Amino acid sequence: MSVQRKNDATWRYAIIVIASVLTVLPLIVVGITAFYKPNTPISGIAIPHTLDFGTFRYAWDTGAFADALRASLIVAAAVVAIVTIGAICAGYAFGTMQFRGSKLLFYMILAGVTVPFEAMVVPLYFDFQSLHLTNTYWGLILPESGIYLAFGVFWMRAFFLAVPRALIESARIDGASSFRILTQILIPIGKPVILTLMMLTFLSSWNEYLVPLVMTSSNSLQTVPLALASFQGQQLTDEPSLAAASLIVAGPAIAVYIFTQRTFFRGLLQGSVK
């Protein structure tokens, strides 16, 4: 390896290390703060003499995060299922089939990515109120599914367009139906792309704040972003409890990313066509 290449590699690794430290450092600081006792005044960064896990218990009980986590899991799981199934079916149609008005219909769906949801949330609230869907799980699931479905269709269409036409045509010559081609050929080779879409949808739904804020006023349907905001308002000066609550809320999202990161990067960088 030449000196120039070694220098380039050194700079690249240095940049990666610096970026990693800057990314992880805030999480480490929050983690350290969470082990102080509740209502302990904190100045700067210091490691506590004893690790107090009672702060997590205090935040869990005071912030009612058990109900919030359950509501968020129900909503996120339903949104992931709806978006994944809808995106696969629509993406398969737009990516492999030709029919009249397909481009116009695709651009209409794609408008969901460009039009800000904030511009539609007020009329949508009154529509859902007239249908008696506010303060229900469907009042959270349906709007979020609509928000993320447009990107899901765009994502899956790009995958199906990248599949070699010869693969699909050979399956059709062998007598395979469109449904069989999708379920037995394309979905198996597209698992990294599909799992990446599922993870992105889950994280987006988990962190969604505006839809639960507008569509529900029931404490039993309060999702984790709302529960954290409410807890922050109650414990504004209690930094250890706020840090513990933040870790409780971020825990499931971090766990999902850790367990799916290899598939996530495969779906982003390599694709799934072999």
Q: What is the pLDDT of residue 136?
A: 92
Q: What is the pLDDT of residue 271?
A: 44
- pLDDT tens digits, one per residue of 145-185: 999 999 999 999 989 988 888 888 888 888 888 888 888 88
Q: Model pTM greater than 0.75? A: yes
Q: What is the CATH number of the domain that holds 152?
A: 1.10.3720.10
Residues 10 and 69 both lie in one domain? no
Residues 146 and 214 both lie in one domain? yes
Structural domain range at position 14: 3-54
Q: What is the pLDDT of residue 121?
A: 87
Q: What is the pLDDT of residue 148?
A: 93
The percentage of the chain sitting over the pLDDT mark of 90, rounded to a whole number, equals: 28
Residues 47 and 67 both lie in one domain? no
Residues 38 and 69 both lie in one domain? no
Closest CA to 140 of 241, 212, 38, 189: 212
pLDDT band at 86 (very low <50, low <70, confident <90, very high): very high
Q: Rounded mean pLDDT of 93-100?
A: 86
Residues 171 and 236 both lie in one domain? yes
Between residues 210 and 41, the one the model is more confident about: 210
Q: What is the pLDDT of residue 78?
A: 96
**Going by C-beta distance under 8 Å and a sequence separation of 6 or more, which residues neighbour residue 71?**
137, 220, 221, 222, 223
Three state DSSP letters for the chain: CCHHHHHHHHHHHHHHHHHHHHHHHHHHHHHHHCCCCCCCCCCCCCCCCCCCCHHHHHHHHHCCHHHHHHHHHHHHHHHHHHHHHHHHHHHHHHHHCCCCCHHHHHHHHHHHHHCCHHHCHHHHHHHHHHCCCCCCHHHHHHHHHHHHHHHHHHHHHHHHHHCCHHHHHHHHHCCCCHHHHHHHHHHHHCHHHHHHHHHHHHHHHHCCCHHHHHHCCCHHHCCHHHHHHHHHHHCCCCHHHHHHHHHHHHHHHHHHHHHHHHHHHHHHHHCCCC
Q: Between the CA atoms of 29, 31, 37 and 41, what dihedral angle is there, to the nearest 10 degrees?
A: 20
Residues 99 and 207 both lie in one domain? yes
Residues 68 and 203 both lie in one domain? yes
- pLDDT tens digits, one per residue of 132-149: 999 999 999 999 999 999
Residues 97 and 230 both lie in one domain? yes
End of a domain among 34, 54, 74? Answer: 54
End of a domain among 21, 37, 54? Answer: 54
- pLDDT tens digits, one per residue of 212-240: 999 988 888 889 999 998 888 887 778 88
pLDDT band at 270 (very low <50, low <70, confident <90, very high): very low
**Going by C-beta distance under 8 Å and a sequence separation of 6 or more, which residues neighbour residue 62?**
231, 234, 235, 241
Structural domains in the chain (count): 2
Residues 159 and 265 both lie in one domain? yes
Q: Please check whether residue 18 is in contact with residue 5, taking contact to mean a CB–CB distance below 8 angstroms.
A: no
Q: What is the pLDDT of residue 269?
A: 55
Q: Please check whether residue 223 is in contact with residue 41, taking contact to mean a CB–CB distance below 8 angstroms.
A: no
Q: Rounded mean pLDDT of 267-273?
A: 49
Residues 67 and 48 both lie in one domain? no
Q: Which residue has the tokens 């129900």?
A: 74
Residues 138 and 156 both lie in one domain? yes
Mean pLDDT of the chain: 84
Residues 150 and 231 both lie in one domain? yes
